[in-house]
Amino acid sequence: TVPAYFNSRQRRATFAAAQLAGLQKVTLLAEPVAASLAYGLSGAVGKVLVFDLGAGTFDVSVLDLMVDGSIEVLATSGDARLGGTDFDACILELVLAKAKALGHTRLRGNERAMRLLRERVEAAKIKLSVVTKVEIVLPDSGVNARTGANDLKPSGTGELVEE
C-alpha cells in the first residue's frame, strides 16, 4: 500500500523498490482503499469515506462499494504533514498555556518535565478516543513562580475536554 497523497512518481518509485526486493507480482493500492477492502468484503454497498490518521500523515478516500463487490474510487487525497504527532503538539501547547496561567513557568526549560508531559499528553489524546474528558497531571518543574512553592511532586493539573 502507499499513502493516498503519493503522486505517480512516488508510486513508480515504490513499485520499482518492490521489484528490486524480488517481488514478482506487484499491485499498489492507496492505503484507504486497501483498508476499505475488508469493509467491502462484509457485503456493504454504497458510498463510504475511509480515512487513515497515522502518527505523521492523513489519508482519505471516497469510495463506492458496488453490489458485485467491486470498488470505485471517487476521490482520494491526503496530507503528509498532518497526523497524531501534530495533535500531540497542539494539546501540549494548550496544557503549557494553562500551566503558565497557574504559575508553572519553568516547564519549557526542564527537559525531564517536558518529556514526562509529552508522554502524558499522548496518553491523554489516546484516552480521548473513548472518553470526552481527561486530566493531565503536570510533572514537577521546580519553583512555582506564582506561589514560590517548590514543586517536589506533581501537583498541578491541566484539564482537557474534547470539542
**Residues 39-60: pLDDT tens digits?**
666 777 889 888 888 888 888 8
Predicted pLDDT of residue 158: 52
* 44-49: long-range pairs with CB below 8 Å, 24+: 47/74
Predicted pLDDT of residue 118: 94
Q: Based on the domain organization, do 132 and 69 belong to the same domain? A: no
Q: Based on the domain organization, do 73 and 90 belong to the same domain? A: no
Give yes or no for residue 11 having a pLDDT over 90: yes
Which of 17, 30, 86, 91 shows the shortest CA–CA distance to 62? Answer: 30
Domain count, the chain: 2
Q: Based on the domain organization, do 32 and 99 belong to the same domain? A: no
Question: Quick one: pLDDT band at residue 92, thresholds 50, 70, 90?
Answer: very high
Q: Based on the domain organization, do 72 and 137 belong to the same domain? A: no
Q: Based on the domain organization, do 95 and 154 belong to the same domain? A: yes
In a domain, 127, yes or no: yes
The average pLDDT across 73-97 equals: 89
Q: Are 140 and 154 in contact (CB under 8 A)?
A: yes
Range of the domain at 156: 84-161
Q: Which of 40, 61, 79 is the last residue of a domain?
A: 79
Q: Based on the domain organization, do 27 and 74 belong to the same domain? A: yes
Predicted pLDDT of residue 101: 84
Of the segments 39-43, 65-69, 89-93, which one has the largest average pLDDT value?
A: 89-93
The average pLDDT across 148-160 equals: 45
Whole-number Cα distances in Å, 144 to 24, 86, 96, 152, 154: 63, 28, 14, 10, 12
Whole-number Cα distances in Å, 46 to 63, 67, 109, 132: 8, 8, 53, 31
- Of 31-35, 78-82, 87-91, 151-155, the one with minimum mean pLDDT is 151-155
Q: Based on the domain organization, do 106 and 154 belong to the same domain? A: yes
In a domain, 98, yes or no: yes
In a domain, 2, yes or no: no
